[in-house]
Each structure stands twice: as structure tokens, then as C-alpha cells.
């Protein structure tokens, strides 16, 4: 079951998760989770700036997330366990485009201790639904490293389809890397003229 609520901030609730905008109250939990999972996440993410873990940098991201949510340009959210409100990861719908596109780019991460439990699959399914129904974004694009089998499984469970390879797509750990491209296209979009 998925429910949506909005009062000062977006809130998506699933069977096991609460998905919402980050706040400054999340800083310590975020810092702990990111540091504990640093070596796990560094395989898949761009190289971090020196100030990545600073409180000022986090505050900038919180403000950026709120401002961009209000303008529906970016949806930057954190995932929390419903049972104890522990932060477990995050996801972002970026580059949200309307007009003839109605599409967005998807990025996500999960703390190492929470991987392989179906949490990201549950979160992505909820955000796909939210994007389709609330934002009217009907095409979500994702790019993953070819050897990221866990991410590939998550995307395929969420009905993303393989679309090709992006050559030298993104710098990971300081190196340009090819990425495998996937897209989730809402079935109502296929072939419709509206």
C-alpha cells in the first residue's frame, strides 16, 4: 500500500518505508550512514568533494532539495524505516522535464547494512507511482555501472528496460566509466498522442 501526504514537505509511505525531503535534523543519521557505507558506495558513485560530509554542505543540500521540490525541478528524498525511523538511503529524480518530454533522471543509494532486503525496490516502486500520478512524469531514466548487478536487479524488478550503453557516461571514483542505460516508461505513454 502506498499513501501520499503533503504538509510542508512531501511524504510517501509504503508498507515498510517513509520517504520524504531531508531536513537538518537528519544530518547526524546521514553522516553516520554515509561514513559506515563509504567503501561500499564509493564503487558506484562520483568522487566526493572535500566538504561533502560537512554540516554546511548538508544544509546547502537540504535548502536545495526544498527549493527544487517547490519548483518541481528535482525531487531529492531520504528513505527511512517505518518501524523505527532509521535513515537507510536516498533517491533523486533529477532533470525533471515537462513539455513534450515528461521525463526525469533517477539516482539512488542505500546504506550497506540495508542492501539486499528489498527496501530500494519498494522505495523505487513508490516513487515511480508518485512521479506518474503526482508529477505526471511518465518516463524515468537510470544509468548504472555494467557490473552493478544488485542495481540491475532492482531496476528490472521495477519494470525498467535496457536501452543501451552510455559511453564515458559519468566519472566514478575519478574515472570516466561506461554506464548501462535503463528506462521505466508508463504503459499509458506508449503510443499515445497526448
What pLDDT does residue 193 have? 55
What pLDDT does residue 2 have? 55
What pLDDT does residue 96 have? 95
What pLDDT does residue 189 have? 78
The residue assigned the cell 525531487 is 75
The pLDDT profile of the chain, 194 residues, written as one tens digit per residue, is 555 555 545 579 999 999 999 999 999 999 999 999 999 998 899 888 889 999 999 999 999 999 998 888 899 999 999 999 999 999 999 999 998 999 999 999 999 999 999 999 999 999 999 999 999 999 999 999 999 999 999 999 999 999 999 999 999 888 999 999 999 999 887 665 55
What pLDDT does residue 70 have? 84
Of the candidates 171, 178, 6, the residue with the CA atom closest to the CA atom of residue 75: 6
Of the candidates 115, 123, 142, 173, the residue with the CA atom closest to the CA atom of residue 20: 123
Taking the alpha carbons of 32, 36, 42, 48 in that order, is the dihedral positive or negative?
positive
What pLDDT does residue 143 have? 96
What pLDDT does residue 8 have? 45
Amino acid at each position: 500500500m502506498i499513501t501520499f501526504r503533503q504538509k510542508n514537505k512531501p511524504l510517501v509511505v509504503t508498507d515498510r518505508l517513509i520517504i520524504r525531503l531531508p531536513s537538518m535534523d537528519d544530518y547526524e543519521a546521514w553522516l553516520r550512514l554515509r561514513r559506515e557505507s563509504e567503501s561500499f558506495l564509493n564503487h558506484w558513485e562520483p568522487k566526493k568533494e572535500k566538504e561533502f560530509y560537512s554540516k554546511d554542505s548538508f544544509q546547502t543540500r537540504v535548502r536545495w532539495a526544498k527549493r527544487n521540490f517547490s519548483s518541481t525541478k528535482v525531487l531529492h528524498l531520504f528513505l527511512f524505516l517505518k518501524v523505527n525511523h532509521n535513515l537507510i538511503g536516498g533517491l533523486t529524480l533529477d532533470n525533471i522535464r515537462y513539455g513534450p518530454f515528461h521525463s526525469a533522471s533517477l539516482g539512488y543509494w542505500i546504506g550497506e547494512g540495508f542492501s539486499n532486503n528489498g527496501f530500494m525496490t519498494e522505495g523505487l516502486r513508490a516513487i515511480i507511482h508518485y512521479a506518474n500520478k503526482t508529477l505526471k512524469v511518465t518516463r524515468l531514466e537510470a544509468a548504472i555501472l555494467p557490473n552493478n548487478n544488485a542495481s540491475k536487479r532492482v531496476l528490472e524488478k521495477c519494470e525498467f528496460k535496457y536501452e543501451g550503453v552510455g559511453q564515458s557516461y559519468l566519472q566514478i571514483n575519478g574515472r570516466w566509466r561506461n554506464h548501462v542505460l535503463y528506462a521505466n516508461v508508463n504503459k499509458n505513454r506508449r503510443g499515445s498522442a497526448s
